[in-house]
Chains A and B, each alone.
Chain A
Amino acid sequence: MATDYKALKNGGFMRQKQKDRFSLRLKVVGGQLTAEQLRTVTEAAETYGQGYVHLTSRQGLEIPFVKLADVENIRQVLAKGGVETGVCGPRVRTVTACQGSDICPSGCIETMTLARTLSDRYYGRQLPHKFKFGITGCQNNCLKAEENDMGIKGGLIIHWLAEPCTFCGVCAKACREKAIVVTEDKVEVDRAKCNHCGRCVKSCPTEAWQGQPGYLLSFGGLFGNKIERGLELTPITGDLNAVLKVSDATLDFFSTYGRAGERFRFSIERTGWETLAQTVKEAAANA
């Protein structure tokens, strides 16, 4: 029987240099696995691999040295323990995320729910080339949003209330963008300098700074053979539905204009950034 490497690759079986051995990629969303899933992975790695796993650069997990003959068996063992195999090839890859505002004191948005939403919506969807989503909870950018084909970064849309303010001066120093000036009886913010980091909100002792969670989106990032930083095309939005409409439109754009084997960045450059910007703006406006 001729081996169908292509079909294998859809299921996350990465061919190794060793004959008939595969490094089996597992599905991970937002970098989290339950203890139960880990036990299953342990069992699978001991039975079908060489008793170890490899952690990939994008929060993925692979079990190396799986034999071709064991492919179905290992799949079943994993499935029983709630672990799915991953994907490779020209499709939507692992959605990565930091722990976000549920766990991290700096977090501006909930990242895990969003990661699951995006993964459920798009994971494995076939496109002209691979497509990566990355979600990072704030400007600290632990998850490197702009490396991704579409990056999502949390921010806060800030609003100052005069009444609770004691003019203590803390926010002016907490702001690294030097966007805030505090005087005896006034707090002024230069909106053009504000990058939505939320440090004023987090540091204000009296809650005079209020912040609404917002999403900063970047497009066309690459960090492989070619390195390009994803670019922002729209202002911050506090509307999660708009984010989903924009990601829908972005993938549709890639399906429509991308050529097989061409990374999203180059499809954008060939089609024109303006065309994508227009698509993205319309999608956000119609949300």
Chain B
Amino acid sequence: MPNKTLPPPDSTVDITEVVCPVTFVKVKVALDDLEPGQILSVRLNDGEPVENVPRSLKDEGHRVLKLSANGDGTYNLLVEKGQE
């Protein structure tokens, strides 16, 4: 079920300048400002963040839509806020 047409994000957050656990806290704060169903775009670094942030968002009940490489060593993650 390829998901080609993804909606534009409602908000963005950049966590490339911070390290764990602030990475997760920043994303959480950004999600707090959104309503369930709205979409957040997260810019994150290769390595630990890109390996782990999608999974912690899933564990928190949000829906990860797409991960794409920006070509500069960073990634963009689209996540839809889950129900409270």
Total number of B residues with any Cβ neighbor in A under 8 Å? 18
Residues from chain B with Cβ under 8 Å of A204 in the complex: 58
A169 touches B67 (CB 8 A): yes
| CB proximity of A247 to chain B, nearest CB, Å | 32
| CB proximity of A34 to chain B, nearest CB, Å | 28
| CB proximity of A189 to chain B, nearest CB, Å | 17
Give chain B's interface secondary structure class.
mixed
| CB proximity of A134 to chain B, nearest CB, Å | 26
Residues from chain A with Cβ under 8 Å of B54 in the complex: 170, 173-174, 203, 205
A169 touches B55 (CB 8 A): no
Choose from B2, B52, B55 the contact partner of A166 (Cβ within 8 Å). B2
| CB proximity of A254 to chain B, nearest CB, Å | 40
B51 touches A205 (CB 8 A): no
- Which B residue's beta carbon lies closest to that of A105? B59
B66 touches A168 (CB 8 A): yes
Q: Mark B51-65, 1 if CB is under 8 A from A, else 0.
A: 110110011000111
B70 CB–A CB distance under 8 Å = no
Residues from chain A with Cβ under 8 Å of B59 in the complex: 105
Give the interface residue-count category, chain A.
Answer: 10 to 19
Q: How far is the CA of A22 from the CA of B63 in the complex (A)?
A: 57
Q: Mark A152-163, 1 if CB is under 8 A from B, else 0.
A: 000000000001
Would A176 and B63 be within 8 Å (CB), given that A164-B1, A166-B1, A167-B2 are in contact? no
Residues from chain B with Cβ under 8 Å of A176 in the complex: 51
A15 CB–B CB distance under 8 Å = no
Q: How far is the CA of A89 from the CA of B67 in the complex (A)?
A: 55
B50 touches A203 (CB 8 A): no
A168 touches B67 (CB 8 A): yes
A196 CB–B CB distance under 8 Å = no
Residues from chain A with Cβ under 8 Å of B3 in the complex: 166-168
Q: How far is the CA of A79 from the CA of B69 in the complex (A)?
A: 60
A190 CB–B CB distance under 8 Å = no
Choose from B51, B52, B58, B66 the contact partner of A169 (Cβ within 8 Å). B66
B67 touches A184 (CB 8 A): no
B58 touches A205 (CB 8 A): yes
| CB proximity of A183 to chain B, nearest CB, Å | 10
Choose from A163, A185, A203 the contact partner of B55 (Cβ within 8 Å). A203
A283 CB–B CB distance under 8 Å = no
Choose from A164, A174, A205 the contact partner of B63 (Cβ within 8 Å). A205
Choose from A167, A168, A184 the contact partner of B64 (Cβ within 8 Å). A168
Q: How far is the CA of A173 from the CA of B67 in the complex (A)?
A: 9
A199 touches B68 (CB 8 A): no
- Which B residue's beta carbon lies closest to that of A185? B2
List 28 contacting pairs A-B, 8 Å CB cutoff, sorted by A: A105-B59, A166-B1, A166-B3, A166-B65, A166-B66, A167-B2, A167-B3, A168-B3, A168-B67, A169-B66, A169-B68, A170-B55, A170-B64, A173-B51, A173-B54, A173-B67, A173-B75, A174-B52, A174-B54, A174-B55, A184-B2, A185-B2, A202-B58, A203-B51, A203-B54, A203-B58, A205-B58, A205-B63
